[in-house]
C-alpha cells in the first residue's frame, strides 16, 4: 500500500518501509530537489541520519551502476546513469523526477536496495528490467525483490505523437491495448502501467509491487510537472531509498 505522511510530506510503500528500510516519494512541498540543499534539509528534518547521499546525473539512459563508497564524501554524484543499486547502509539513493517514473527496489533477503528514473526513453530501453537484472547479478532472486512505483504523469495527461506511438507499438506489441488509450483523437500512454508490466515480465511478483494511480500533471497541489509547469514555477521531486 502507498501511504502519505503529512509530517514528512512524502508518499511511501508499506512493502518497502520497516525498521531497517526507509524510502519515500517526495511532494513539491519539499522544494525543488535539483537543489541539493532541499534534499539535505529533508533528511535532517526527517531525522534520517546518513553517511553519503547518492545522486545520479540522469541522462534518460538505461545505465545501472552499483554504488560503493569511495571517499566518504557527504554527496556522491554518479555520472551518466539513471539507475543505482547498493548494499551500503545509511546511504540514501536519490532520484529527481517531475512526470517521469521513479521506481524503488528493495531485496530484504540479500539486503540490497536500488532506485531508478525512467521517462519514456528509459521505459522503452527497459531500465526497470535492467535494475532487476543488476540485482540478480549481485545475488538477489527476482521473487524476493520488492518494488514501489512512484508518482508520474498519468495516461489522462500523457498524449504522445504518432511517431512515439509507433515506436512503442513496435517495442511492446503485446501491451499496446493495455498501455494506450485514445482520447480526443490522440494516443495517451500509461507509462506507470508499462513499467508495472515490464517488472512482472522480469519475474517480480504482483504482490511485491506497490503503486498508485497518481498523475503529477493533474495534482498541482502535490507535484511538480514537466508538462504542466512554466519554467519559473518548475521543479522536481525527490524520491529516495535507504538501508538504516
Instruction: Indicate which single residue of 157, 160, 169, 200 sits in contact with Zn ion (rule: CB under 5 A).
Output: 157
Using the rule CB under 5 A, give the single segment among 40-48, 55-63, 104-112, 217-225 that binds Zn ion.
217-225
Contact 48, 88 (CB under 8 A): no
Cβ count within 10 A of residue 3: 13
Using the rule CB under 5 A, give the single segment among 31-39, 59-67, 141-149, 154-162 that binds Zn ion.
154-162
> Min. distance of Cβ 121 from Zn ion in angstroms?
20
Query: Using the rule CB under 5 A, is 217 a contact of Zn ion?
Result: yes
Query: Using the rule CB under 5 A, is 237 a contact of Zn ion?
Result: no
Query: Using the rule CB under 5 A, is 218 a contact of Zn ion?
Result: yes
Q: Are strands 83-86 and 75-78 parallel, antiparallel or unpaired?
A: unpaired
Instruction: Indicate which single residue of 31, 83, 154, 235 sits in contact with Zn ion (rule: CB under 5 A).
Output: 154
Using the rule CB under 5 A, give the single segment among 9-17, 62-70, 187-195, 208-216 that binds Zn ion.
208-216
* Extended beta strands in the chain, E state: 2-5, 10-13, 21-26, 53-56, 64-66, 75-78, 83-86, 93-97, 101-107, 112-118, 145-149, 159-160, 180-183, 186-189, 209-210, 237-243
**Footprint on this chain of Zn ion (rule: CB under 5 A):** 154, 156-157, 215, 217-218
Amino acid at each position: 500500500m502507498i501511504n502519505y505522511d503529512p509530517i514528512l510530506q512524502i508518499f511511501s510503500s508499506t512493502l518497502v518501509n520497516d525498521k531497517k528500510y526507509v524510502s519515500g516519494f517526495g511532494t513539491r512541498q519539499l522544494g525543488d530537489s535539483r537543489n541539493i540543499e532541499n534534499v539535505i534539509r529533508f533528511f535532517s528534518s526527517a531525522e534520517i541520519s546518513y553517511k553519503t547521499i547518492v545522486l545520479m546525473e540522469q541522462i534518460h539512459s538505461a545505465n545501472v551502476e552499483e554504488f560503493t563508497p569511495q571517499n566518504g564524501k557527504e554527496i556522491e554524484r554518479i555520472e551518466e546513469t539513471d539507475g543505482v543499486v547498493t548494499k551500503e547502509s545509511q546511504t540514501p539513493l536519490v532520484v529527481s523526477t517531475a512526470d517521469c517514473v521513479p521506481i524503488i527496489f528493495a531485496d530484504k533477503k540479500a539486503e540490497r536496495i536500488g532506485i531508478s528514473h525512467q521517462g519514456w526513453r528509459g521505459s522503452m530501453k527497459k531500465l526497470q528490467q535492467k535494475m532487476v537484472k543488476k540485482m540478480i547479478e549481485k545475488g538477489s532472486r527476482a521473487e524476493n525483490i520488492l518494488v514501489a512505483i512512484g508518482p508520474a504523469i498519468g495516461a489522462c495527461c500523457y498524449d504522445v505523437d504518432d511517431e512515439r506511438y509507433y515506436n512503442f507499438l513496435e517495442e511492446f506489441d503485446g501491451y499496446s491495448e493495455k498501455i494506450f488509450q485514445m482520447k480526443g483523437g490522440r494516443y495517451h500512454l500509461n507509462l506507470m502501467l508499462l513499467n508495472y508490466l515490464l517488472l512482472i515480465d522480469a519475474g517480480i511478483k504482483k504482490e511485491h509491487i506497490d503503486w498508485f494511480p497518481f498523475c503529477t500533471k493533474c495534482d498541482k497541489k502535490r507535484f511538480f510537472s514537466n508538462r504542466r509547469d512554466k519554467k519559473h514555477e518548475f521543479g522536481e521531486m525527490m524520491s529516495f531509498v535507504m538501508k538504516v
